[in-house]
Chain A
Amino acid sequence: MRNMFAIAKRELQSFLVSPIAYLVTAAFLLISGLYFWFTLNWMVTYRDIPTVRYTVEFMVVVFVFAAPLITMRLLAQERRMGTLELVLTSPVKEWELVMGKFFAGFALYLLMVLPTLLYPLTLEIFGNPDWGPIWSSYLGLLLFGAVLTAVGLLASALTENQIVAAVLGVAGNLLLWFFAGIPTYDPSSSPRLIQILKILDLRQHLDTFLSGALDTRDIIYCLSMTAFLLFVTTRILEARRWRA
């Protein structure tokens, strides 16, 4: 466990000294801020209900693309530089390495999300928003962040090329975000397939959080998806050991 936290700390520190983390965060805050600004104007002009629902939904879409940029280097760089073998021959277990890297990526994700709390704060200053859906939306954002980070980490474990890892991560996220719902629009799809794909569809689960409800189905989905992806990542690293 100590190894895991040491890895997480080291990774986070290396994130915080790399310019890419700041660039990605700044770009994320710029487009999220713009989007929130537009929705704020809409709410003021049309006296619509003050909400961060649409901004949070937009932020998740941004993270579908941004999360792999954070995670692409986590394992791919170690592989490219040959340090992964060194780590794996040390007393560090594969799962400790994977969890350490995951927590580092997730911590950076949290640091990126943290400044966006200014958005609901703005609504509180100039209006009377319902904080229930705001908290549930942010909880959804955190749980989805965990899934997206885990997808990125898995992609990073598959290759030593960071660009390839990023592309694979984006593809994986898009698959969960967009494509899982597509067969539901095909009337010839079997109802069972549609039901299974609906359970896998990220957007379906996000909607509940955004509307102001906490549903065990959505929470279990996010946690189990994260656990499964991290497990597969660990198995891939283990495979390197017995393939050698």
Chain B
Amino acid sequence: MNEQQRTRIGNILLALALVALLVGIGSLLVERRLTLWNELAFGIAGALLLAFIILEPVRTRTWVTSRQVRYGSNALLMTLALLAVLGVANFLADRHPYRIDVTANRTLSLSPQTIDTLHLFQGPIRVVAFFPGSIGGRERAADLLDQYRYHYPDLQVEFHDPEVEFARAQEWGVTDVWRPTIFIVYGDRKETIHAATEIEITSALVRLARKEKPKVYFITGHGEPALDDWGDFGLSTLKERMEQEGLEVAPLNLLITATVPSDARAVVLVGPLQAMKPEEVERLTAYVDGGGSAMILMDPAIAPEDESPALNEWLEKEWGVSFRQDVVIDIANYAYPMPTVPAASPIATHPVGQGMPGAMVYFVEARSIAQVAPPEEVTETTTARPTYTALIRTSADSWGETSRDELSRIPQEWPQYTEGEDTRGPLDLVATLENRETGARLALFGDVHFCTNVAVKDLANGDLFMNTLNWLTQDETLISLRPNEDIARYVTIRSNLVRNALFLVLVILLPLLVLGIGGIVWAARRVRR
């Protein structure tokens, strides 16, 4: 074989090696894994290259020892070394991230309780958030969820618009496309919330982390609305929702049981039509006084003798609170055309209200709640005194109507406020009480209808019930969980003149000024030349 032939064969070998290499890379890109075919192609490329080296040792040596290869390989090695150093730096930063929240009210920092809650999980948590495009808040929700992901990298978040992605929304069971619906899925369990606040998300996570379903008992035996009643005034819709949100619901007849079962996370009394017997009240109060939680919903009494004196006495003496014998009339905030159907938003500073920003609820012929004992300052020495916090309050243009005559003439004639007899608003329709020493919690509602089948799906009525129940059944780790203070931030420009002036300065004059400076510099340069 002469020199010329060897060079030609060498070139062919090199070309074939290149083709085999390209085939291997192409196959690897298409199949995205090592297969017999791409391994074979790489093998052939290697063999051809080896054959070239054996055939052309002089050319190989010359090429390897050339200046270009020496400097080139040196440059390549240095680049790879730097790449490795930077890769390691980025990898370490990714493994041990450190983040500083520079927002004024630390909106990007989660509370220690939330971080502790996240430590209870193992494996992926999926968050599927349906945010209607027509309302805001998606960016803020994304930022908040990003914080959760920062502390729990296995949190997968996806956003969808229920107004656009109908099929997906339907598949997930989104019923109200006008408001956010967020599903949090962990394993085979799912929680649903409607506000992307820390308190809501963390509460949902706490419920998901629980191994056992919290059990809620509904007291029966006094004509209360039934849990399985699908009629307008039944509680079947509420029961369904409670079960969907991971609670176990059971009836409880205190006449036939000596104590409230020990697995009760809360006991609910919904509008008894007859008076409870003293021993029943005793069993209920023994449970609550021992650190239990109870929710009591009372409609205005048709006949005061049907009320439970023992229950009222316990509420007054132990908790310093009572249901007034009135019907609330609110002429400023009501569901038109009935001032006896007051509408209100939960008080934003209440832990329950914090999870319901902008939500509205309404009540049908509600009664008000009064503090019978003067409110005491809660100090370290008086922690035994229950703390009273209003959750729903009527407007200042409301009163508690006490005249049965006037009430009986509705709707032909509307009642009027009577000084000395009626109570002037604002009036509390829902309030919560907490004994910090025993841990006992109480939620009082001056209405029953709002949570019955006919109204529980309206506005945020169901949310109010569920969020209050969640507050009652929450783990102790969440008691002090409070979202960071949200300072109202806004920008106000009332005058169109100011708006136009701003447009002139920011959009027209600023670029013109730069062009002007450029023009002067250019002209000065020309003159100098």
Contacts and interface: CB of A to CB of B under 8 A. Distances in A.
Interface in A101-149: 115, 118-119, 122-123, 126-133, 135-136
Contacts of B491: 40, 43-44, 50, 123, 126-127, 129
A74 B68 CA distance: 26
A49 B78 CA distance: 48
B490 A188 contact: no
Given A213-B100, A220-B89, A48 B506 contact: no
A211 interface: yes
Interface in B80-133: 82-83, 86, 89-90, 93-94, 97-105, 107-108
A216 B99 contact: yes
B147 to A, nearest CB: 8
B61 interface: no
A26 B101 contact: no
B489 A29 contact: no
Interface string A138-182: 000000000000000000000000000000000000000000000
Contact of A130 (B104, B143, B510): B104
A50 B143 CA distance: 16
Nearest to B143: A211
B527 interface: no
A232 B114 CA distance: 44
Interface stretch (B159-167, B194-202, B318-326, B517-525): B517-525
A242 B306 CA distance: 103
Interface stretch (A1-9, A14-22, A62-70, A83-91): A14-22
B521 A212 contact: no
A213 B108 contact: yes
A61 interface: no
A118 B510 contact: yes
Nearest to A236: B75
A231 B79 contact: yes
B19 interface: no
Q: For the side of the interface on A, what is the size category? A: 35 or more
A205 B518 CA distance: 35
Contact of B99 (A126, A214, A221, A232): A214
Q: For the side of the interface on B, what is the size category? A: 35 or more
A41 B150 CA distance: 33
A124 to B, nearest CB: 9
A151 to B, nearest CB: 16
A239 B72 contact: yes
B36 interface: no
Interface in B487-521: 487, 489-493, 498-499, 502-503, 505-507, 510-512, 514-515, 517-519, 521
Interface of B: 32, 67-68, 71-72, 75, 78-79, 82-83, 86, 89-90, 93-94, 97-105, 107-108, 136, 143, 146, 150, 487, 489-493, 498-499, 502-503, 505-507, 510-512, 514-515, 517-519, 521-522, 525
Closest 10 CB pairs of A and B: A22-B518, A127-B491, A132-B102, A224-B86, A212-B103, A26-B511, A242-B71, A33-B507, A50-B491, A30-B511
29 contacts: A17-B522, A25-B511, A26-B515, A29-B514, A33-B506, A33-B511, A34-B507, A36-B506, A37-B503, A37-B506, A43-B491, A49-B490, A50-B489, A118-B506, A122-B506, A128-B487, A132-B102, A190-B32, A208-B146, A211-B108, A213-B100, A215-B97, A220-B90, A220-B93, A221-B93, A224-B89, A227-B82, A238-B71, A239-B71
